[in-house]
Chain A
Amino acid sequence: MSERLAPPLAVLAELTHRCPLQCAYCSNPLQLVAARQELSTETWMRVIDEAAALGALQIHFSGGEPAVRRDLEQLIRHARAAGLYSNLITSGLALDRSRLAALAEAGLDHVQLSFQDADAATAERIAHVRGAQDRKLEFARWVREAGLPLTVNAVVHRQNLDRLPAMIELALTVGAGRIEIAHVQYYGWALLNRRALMPTRAQLEAATQIAEEARQRLAGRLVIDYVPPDYYAQRPKACMGGWGRQFINITPDGHALPCHAAETITDLEFDRVTDRPLAEIWASSYAFQRFRGTAWMPEPCQSCDRREIDWGGCRCQALAITGRADRTDPACALSTDHAIITRLAEADAAAQTTAFAYRRMKARDEMLPQSAATPAIGDITPK
């Protein structure tokens, strides 16, 4: 490659997989990392220094629930000193008022608080935690009180999409400056629960219109970021802004990944930050190079004029749907597998089930209920 490799924009630090919520679409892998396997404070501090030296500008403290780590203040302070913009992605259930104030004092720049629904009962059923909604609302007040800017994270799917206008209202009520409306992406837990989550096409179209209308109406008051779902798309999304182009995701036990779902690609080996410096992993590890740029692409991607717009879409999705990570993302209408994804979406959207397989820290086959253990492709074969 003649082009000089640009540094990553951001590091996603998944400090822990421990979480008070059990959302059925959690982006964490099915096999969660146990507390005893988590990186030490010293290692995280070194990783923060290495990320800043490499040229990363932002760090997202995520999880699980990052605040279950007692060293969160220390890590935020360290990130601030290293010049990084720090963002806390939280459930709001593991921090009290004084600790939040301490995080602000340590230099935290921004808070992203998840809401599972505007309706408390449904929200608490989705997250499988009773009483969560009131605590989240109270937490949002503390965020504002601490003078921190707030984003509401709203993951949307069939079971809450009809209340999207209420979720936008909720963001305004709690004083958020921004709402991120993200359709569920189907990997890991969400893939397992796809039949309970997949929206109908009518719901999707209504949601897109509602988000667009609200964006106009609330311009200057509320920034609305809208992430459309892949299954009904015509063109793939530029997943993570391209493999190994903008982000490094670091798991609780120190694996450096190009995206949070990358470990589903089991024939790739991911280096650990305890074994190699971050700069070396970014520049020369096999996993980061495997799908970086355009040279790896099959046709029709290779000769497509959008190849440097979408960077070939999502490798984990290609794997989940077609069984091969190096195939064209089936979200693309030009993929020969596109009909599969459309039919899966329509079939799952018509499913009547509302039952979830909740995210739990247990061995994988222990937690799979019979009904949810449908393989990704199901009984639909490409014609």
Chain B
Amino acid sequence: MTGMAEDAVPRLAPGVRLKFDQARECWVVLAPERVVMPDETALEILRRCDGETSLGAIIDALAADYEAPRETIAADVQELMGELTRNGILRP
């Protein structure tokens, strides 16, 4: 699997919103006929997909925040990117 290019700028797909839900006290992804409650890792990534930050920069930031080897983070992020793109939540 080659994954997404690191200079790509991932963003929420049209019709997708990320918001904090007061009633459930958690972040939710609102998409066409779907509500997804992202886990902690997915949320960390989604919050950085602001339409300006490149994938490479997102990986750098996460590697710094978690003090983890960049390759490990990159592999995890690529896997999640693939999943989130396939199910229409993110757009590269």
Contacts and interface: CB of A to CB of B under 8 A. Distances in A.
Contact of A149 (B13, B21, B24, B35): B13
Contacts of B19: 83
Interface of B: 13-15, 17, 19, 21, 23-24, 28, 30, 32-33, 35, 85-88
A223 interface: yes
Contact of A55 (B14, B21, B85, B87): B21
Interface string A239-271: 000000000000000000000000000000000
Contacts of B35: 9-10, 57-58
Contacts of A151: 32-33
Given A7-B23, A149-B14, A180-B33, 9 more contacts: A55-B21, A83-B19, A85-B30, A87-B33, A110-B15, A112-B33, A148-B15, A177-B15, A219-B86
B1 to A, nearest CB: 12
A82 to B, nearest CB: 12
Contact of B32 (A7, A147, A178): A178
A240 to B, nearest CB: 12
A51 B88 CA distance: 26
Interface in A185-233: 219-220, 223, 225
A45 interface: no
B75 to A, nearest CB: 19
Q: How many A residues touch the partner, as a band?
A: 20 to 34
Contacts of B21: 55, 57
A85 B14 CA distance: 13
Given A7-B23, A223-B88, A177 B33 contact: no
A337 interface: no
What 9 A-B pairs are tightest by C-beta distance, nearest first? A55-B23, A149-B15, A223-B88, A85-B30, A149-B14, A110-B15, A110-B32, A219-B86, A9-B35
B24 A178 contact: no
21 contacts: A6-B24, A10-B35, A55-B23, A55-B24, A57-B21, A57-B28, A57-B35, A58-B33, A83-B19, A87-B32, A148-B14, A149-B32, A151-B32, A177-B13, A177-B14, A177-B32, A220-B85, A220-B86, A223-B87, A223-B88, A225-B33
A73 interface: no
A117 interface: no
Contacts of A124: none
Given A177-B15, A177-B88, A54 B32 contact: no
A329 interface: no
A178 B14 CA distance: 11
A180 B51 CA distance: 27
Contacts of B14: 147-149, 177
B30 A57 contact: yes
A81 B76 CA distance: 36
Nearest to A54: B23
Contacts of B86: 219-220
Contacts of A225: 33
B64 to A, nearest CB: 29
B24 A7 contact: yes
A20 B87 CA distance: 33
Contacts of A220: 85-86
Contacts of A178: 32, 88
A219 B14 CA distance: 16
Contacts of A14: none
Contacts of A147: 14
A85 B30 CA distance: 7
A109 B87 contact: no
Interface in A38-85: 54-55, 57-58, 60, 83, 85
A109 B28 CA distance: 15
A83 B73 CA distance: 34
A150 to B, nearest CB: 8
Nearest to B24: A55
Contact of B17 (A54, A60, A109, A112): A109
